[in-house]
Amino acid sequence: MCGIVGKYYFNKNAGDSSDIDAMMQAIYHRGPDSSGKYINGRAALGFQRLSIIDTVSGHQPLYNETKTIVLLANGEIYNYKEFVPFLESKGHVFSTRSDCEVIIHLYEEYGIEFISKLNGMFAFCLYDTRNDVMFIARDRVGIKPLYYHLNKEAIIFGSEIKGILASGEVVTEEANDCLAEYLCFRYVANFRTFFSSVNALEPGTYIKISPNGCTFEKFWDLSKYVLNYAQDGDLVETVDAALTASVQRQMMTDVPLGTQLSGGVDSSLVSKLAAGYSPGLKTFTVSFFESAYDESAYARLLADSAGLEYHQIRVDGKTFADTLPKVIWYHDEPLCHANSVHMYLLCTYARQFVTVLLTGEGADELFAGYPRYQICRFGDAYNKLNPSVASLVKSVLKGVPARKIVKIVDNLGLGARELALWNSSFTTKEKVSWLLDSGDVTLDARSALVDSVWNDELSLFDNLLLYEQKSYLQPILMRQDKMSMAASVESRVPVLDNEMLDVANTIPYQYKVRHFTPKHVFKKVAERHISRKIVYKKKVGFGVPVDEWLRDHSGLGRYLDLLLDTARGINGVSRPRIEQLIAEHASRRYNHGDVLWPLVNYAIWREQFFK
């Protein structure tokens, strides 16, 4: 686990390496153990290392035997040992025990097509100096981040946006089409960022870079999967075996390893399976003073029953508020998830004991774990009613004030693609339009992403899960990477191992949800290993009481003053309407945390990057 930065100039005589040290320094936290760089007339590459495998000799850049191929790689290649005997038989000589060195020799043997053979999480830069061609690539689902800026003279890239901005060659300018979408969904989709000239490389993609420019190529895509509707009775066994193998595979390390244990079913199952290979494993949990958000009792239950070493921190509103600006800085963009703060604090604490953490991320998106998916179920059923019955149903539901019912009503009448698009929203487009004093909220990039994954031969629900992997899963993975790396900790996601992707993405939705029980198959697997009290408890989802904390002026509420002070400088924002929202929220007349929380993030982010 590391960080990479680099530049490639299309005109060899235009190369400038004077800022590579500043770019490396900007991502120092990702790899404080060692650093390295490669510079020639065309390219400048920098690397910060967090030592995990081969801590003695695995320094980067890595080279082939003739030093004509240069590699910087962030991440882990879990199946690297499978390739070593074959490559050695072909005459390749390994200079380290690093898992990433196989990338160089696989490239020599197969060309860039080797990428599809890798099982791992990675973002790498491979520079073939003989042919003056460079490749930068990102793993299948986007576990590891990779950003780039492209202009007529060069491509500049890095593991984090701040590493690119440190080059001094990129204008730090806010994207003008993000705020409304962010307020609705708390992130921007389709691999854009809040910076106008910086994009995220799409997962499963590599860029071929040469003096002629850049070409983008996909080496993996969700469209390759075909649903198997003839699932037999061994489905639970298949998922169990795949997850067990994935956990075992991802426990490879030369440094201490633990697990991030929330008390939910996903992290509990991963922790229990990991305990089978490392008895007495250390686990790390966040607890809350607010009982409605606290799952630590379930985390302790799992740890005690599995013989794990339990560690816990507790976070209050003041600590959250004090830490928030630092976390936004590490995140590069306004936060999507409030629990990013807790994850950073937990990883900072865990770093005293371990360098690697296994997590349960990805299970909800692969196995249909979010209760909000039921909204699409209601919407789909509503669309099949005759108009008179549909009108009656909608009028009855409008009279029910419950928040979840309100969201169901808001989505009634939407088409299949719109149901998928709006399923993960946190507020309504009407509220955002009112706040920004604008017309309808435009979501062209998000709609294009829906269209790119949609398969008319599949059900709404199977399409929804494919879309979720390209959309909502992305900020979750960025949170996991950036908060752990901010603390110099490597986090891994066994549920998103290649084998798990291959299994989960061939299971139709009807097997993943039974009646109104989400994540049915996954929970059946969990029943085999952990207490049913954990498996079937109400989903909390690592929630954070930000609505209440916004009312505490000594805590999170202090940033509402910053929001008001900067409101007039935010394009399209109406200060009087923000004042109205704050007053109504403080008096408890209405709960406006759905827009005040993202606006606070946005205000802090603008202060840090644009002041």
Q: Does the annotation place 573 within a ligand binding site? A: no
**What's the CA gap between 558 and 611, in Å, rounded?**
19
Contacts of 321 (CB under 8 A, 6+ apart): 549, 555, 556, 558, 559
Q: Does the annotation place 481 within a ligand binding site? A: no
Contacts of 12 (CB under 8 A, 6+ apart): 41, 42, 211
2, 100, 347, 376: the active-site residue: 2
Contacts of 515 (CB under 8 A, 6+ apart): none
Residue 284 Cα distances to 308, 327, 354, 489, angstroms: 10, 19, 10, 13
Which parts of 193-305 are beta strand (E)?
A: 199-200, 205-210, 213-218, 257-260, 282-288
SS3 312: strand
The alpha carbon of 484 is separated from its chain's Cα centroid by a whole number of angstroms, namely: 12
Neighbours of 363 (CB within 10 A): 27
Number of H helices, E strands in the chain: 27, 17
**What's the CA gap between 35 and 49, in Å, rounded?**
6
- Tokens linked to 272: 């229990």
Q: To 10 degrees, what angle do helices 387-398 and 403-411 make? A: 150
- Tokens linked to 238: 């298949």
Q: Can the peptide bond before residue 371 be classed as cis, meaning omega within 30 degrees of 0?
A: no
How would you classify the pairing of strands 2-9 and 154-158? antiparallel
With b meaning 16 or more CB within 10 Å and e meaning fewer, what string describes 413-428? ebebbebbbbbbbbbb
336 is catalytic: no
Rg (CA), the chain: 24
CB-based contacts of 273-280 (< 8 A; 24+ apart in sequence)? 273/243, 273/244, 273/247, 273/248, 273/529, 274/247, 274/358, 275/306, 275/307, 275/308, 276/244, 277/247, 277/248, 277/251, 278/251, 279/307, 280/307, 280/308, 280/309
**What's the CA gap between 255 and 55, in Å, rounded?**
8
Contact, 32 vs 22, CB < 8 A?
no
H runs (alpha helix) in 307-372: 317-331, 340-350, 363-367
**What's the CA gap between 104 and 332, in Å, rounded?**
31
Residue 218 Cα distances to 4, 7, 199, 583, angstroms: 21, 22, 16, 49
Instruction: Write phi, then psi, for 82 (nearest 5 degrees).
Output: -65, -25
CA 93, 99, 105, 109 torsion-angle sign: positive
Residue 383 Cα distances to 379, 386, 472, angstroms: 6, 8, 25
**What's the CA gap between 224 and 499, in Å, rounded?**
14
Active site residues: 2
Q: Binding site residues, as ranges?
A: 99, 286
Q: Binding site residues for ATP, as ranges?
A: 286
